[in-house]
Chain A
Amino acid sequence: MSYSDSPMTEAMYYILLALMNPNHGYQLMALIDQVSKGRIKMGPGTLYGVLTRLQKDELIVIVNDDGRRKTYAITEDGKAALKTEYKRLKDMIKDGSLLEERQ
């Protein structure tokens, strides 16, 4: 199933976001934990599952593989997908502001 079939999962969103700067697996976990202020504790299985899928969908690429570590980076398609999702989330927040007005 590719990204276009559904809204992004939280894991996918954060990984794409974290890959705005090229990075490798282990640091990505720490970075996501940091960016989400500890809210998201991503399991290693999920992390590598998402990385494999994003690579297949060409939303990320491996920019460096020294045999020991792979460095991943977001592609233009990945950035576009991330922006679309960001806009969708913003729109959702905007729509949700109705809740605040009612309080």
Chain B
Amino acid sequence: MGKLVKRLMLDDIYAIGRNESWFSDMAKNGLHLKKIGCIFISFEKGEPKNTRYRIDIMKEVPSQEQLDVYHDCGWDMITKTGDFYIFAADEDICITELHTDPIEQGFSLTELDKKIKVNLMIMSIAMLLFVVMIISIYFLNDAPVLYMIKGQFVQQMLLVVVELYVFYSVVRNYLAISNLKKDLLQGQKINHNEEYRKARITGGILAGLFLTIAVFTIFIPFIEISQSKDYTLPEDNTNLPIIRLANIEHNPKLIREIGYTGNGVDWANRVSYDWSLLAPVQYEIDEHGVIPNEMWEDQSGEYSPSITTRFYKLTFGSMAENLTLDLISRYVYRDNSEIKEINSLQLDKMYIAEDEFRKQIFAYLDNQVIHVTYYGKERIEDIIPLVFVKLLSIQ
């Protein structure tokens, strides 16, 4: 037995004429078809030969008697894949074609045609459900842009592309068999010498492209997980894009209020960092403080202000406005607070919302979005300049 050589299966097996033509050309170069797998086709190295290949579609496994009759006519079965049986005959010895009546051959495709049609219908329904599901995620969401950058938007979109490609393959195969059947029933024979190079190149490019997308889709969550981290906010100054409680309160008695501590992180004073393709820098930072012996105005307890800063650096600056609006829609309870726009020449937009002790500022500049939520007695007007300075300083 000669050495086995593998080639990628770049064309559909459904493209009967093209594959037959390719196998014959390979045999002319001394590579004789041995086996067809899902990804690879194996050829055995040998002497160059003129070989005819025919792909026969049979629902039932051929009997030994049938194979004997084929053999007596010069045709030997080489391999099979699914319902596709591949026969070969020596060009110089074979006198009878495998199929001599195209109409009869057309009839033989009826079963396969039906099977693919059912596949196509199931696939269409699945595809429709999938698309409706994806659309509903974004259209029925009150904060779609926030979901997009936090969730697996890019991954989901890539998955849609891969799904569409699979669907396109099913449609393409259905059309190939349907058209072949139509041509055969009209008496038109299969072109056994059909040009195959272009289809193999296109198939190779598409398969390579979609394989890359599929692999990329699988790896994105791993990158996201590996980049994500939580740690305790240092008490000293940091380079983090946040407004510190100490800068707002101005009271030297302010001390840190430590919250629940788990996994070595003080969750009341924590920095959460995340990464996604659409927002490569995402921070959510909490800080809690307390001023001993000072009470809230309603005497409900010791005065303990807190601040949460959300900061996003987006890949596309054009998403900044919608992300800001989504943050407003997610974190402002409209019944209690009025949203006001603050005019500023330096920032793209700034909005504020206030209800009792809860003061929120939303702002964006280019591709950076910040959302500050402060619980405390200080005035929002005094916090606004801090946000200005912070956002401008990050530039």
Chain A interface residues (CB < 8 Å from chain B): 1, 9-12, 24-26, 29, 40-50, 52-53, 68-70
Residues of B68-121 contacting chain A, CB below 8 A: 68-70, 72-73, 75, 87, 95-101, 103-105, 107-108, 110
Chain B interface residues (CB < 8 Å from chain A): 54, 56, 60, 62-66, 68-70, 72-73, 75, 87, 95-101, 103-105, 107-108, 110
Are B69 and A44 within 8 A (Cβ)? yes
Are A41 and B108 within 8 A (Cβ)? no
Are B64 and A47 within 8 A (Cβ)? no
Provide a sorted-by-A list of 12 A–B residue pairs whose CB atoms are within 8 angstroms: A1-B107, A25-B66, A26-B68, A29-B73, A43-B99, A44-B96, A45-B75, A45-B105, A46-B99, A46-B100, A49-B99, A50-B104
Are B108 and A53 within 8 A (Cβ)? yes
Question: Chain A residues near B97 (CB, 8 Å)?
Answer: 43, 45
Closest residue of chain B to A53, judged by CB? B107
Question: Chain A residues near B70 (CB, 8 Å)?
Answer: 44-45
Are A45 and B65 within 8 A (Cβ)? no
Are A43 and B60 within 8 A (Cβ)? no
Are A49 and B100 within 8 A (Cβ)? no
Question: Chain B residues near A10 (CB, 8 Å)?
Answer: 101
Bound-state Cα–Cα, A49 to B104, Å: 7
Are B103 and A45 within 8 A (Cβ)? no
Within the complex, the shortest CB–CB distance from A64 to chain B, in Å, comes to: 12
List the 3 shortest-distance A-B pairs measured between CB atoms, nearest first: A45-B98, A43-B100, A45-B99
Are A9 and B100 within 8 A (Cβ)? no
Q: Which of A24, A40, A42, A46 contacts B105 (CB 8 A)?
A: A46
B54, B75, B98, B100, most chain A CB atoms within 10 A: B100
Give chain A's interface secondary structure class.
helix
Are B100 and A42 within 8 A (Cβ)? yes
Question: Chain B residues near A45 (CB, 8 Å)?
Answer: 54, 56, 70, 75, 87, 97-99, 105
Within the complex, the shortest CB–CB distance from B32 to chain A, in Å, comes to: 21
Question: Chain B residues near A26 (CB, 8 Å)?
Answer: 65, 68-69, 72
Question: Chain A residues near B96 (CB, 8 Å)?
Answer: 41-44
* Given the contacts A25-B69, A29-B69, A49-B107, A44 and B64 also touching, CB distance less than 8 Å: no
Closest residue of chain B to A67, judged by CB? B64
Are B66 and A48 within 8 A (Cβ)? yes
Bound-state Cα–Cα, A49 to B101, Å: 10
Are B69 and A11 within 8 A (Cβ)? no
Q: Which of A1, A9, A25, A41 contacts B65 (CB 8 A)?
A: A25
Closest residue of chain B to A24, judged by CB? B65
Are B107 and A46 within 8 A (Cβ)? no
* Given the contacts A11-B104, A49-B105, A43 and B65 also touching, CB distance less than 8 Å: no
Given contacts A9-B104, A29-B73, 5 further A-B contacts (CB under 8 A): A43-B101, A44-B66, A46-B99, A48-B66, A53-B107
Question: Chain A residues near B105 (CB, 8 Å)?
Answer: 45-46, 49
Are B69 and A48 within 8 A (Cβ)? yes
A42, A45, A47, A49, most chain B CB atoms within 10 A: A45
Are A9 and B101 within 8 A (Cβ)? yes
Bound-state Cα–Cα, A47 to B107, Å: 13
Closest residue of chain B to A15, judged by CB? B104
Within the complex, the shortest CB–CB distance from B85 to chain A, in Å, comes to: 10
Closest residue of chain A to B56, judged by CB? A45
Question: Chain A residues near B98 (CB, 8 Å)?
Answer: 43-46
Question: Chain A residues near B104 (CB, 8 Å)?
Answer: 9, 11-12, 46, 49-50, 53
Bound-state Cα–Cα, A44 to B65, Å: 11
Question: Chain A residues near B73 (CB, 8 Å)?
Answer: 29, 43-44
B56, B60, B97, B104, most chain A CB atoms within 10 A: B104
Within the complex, the shortest CB–CB distance from B170 to chain A, in Å, comes to: 23
Bound-state Cα–Cα, A45 to B104, Å: 10
Question: Chain B residues near A47 (CB, 8 Å)?
Answer: 69
Bound-state Cα–Cα, A3 to B345, Å: 83
Question: Chain B residues near A69 (CB, 8 Å)?
Answer: 65
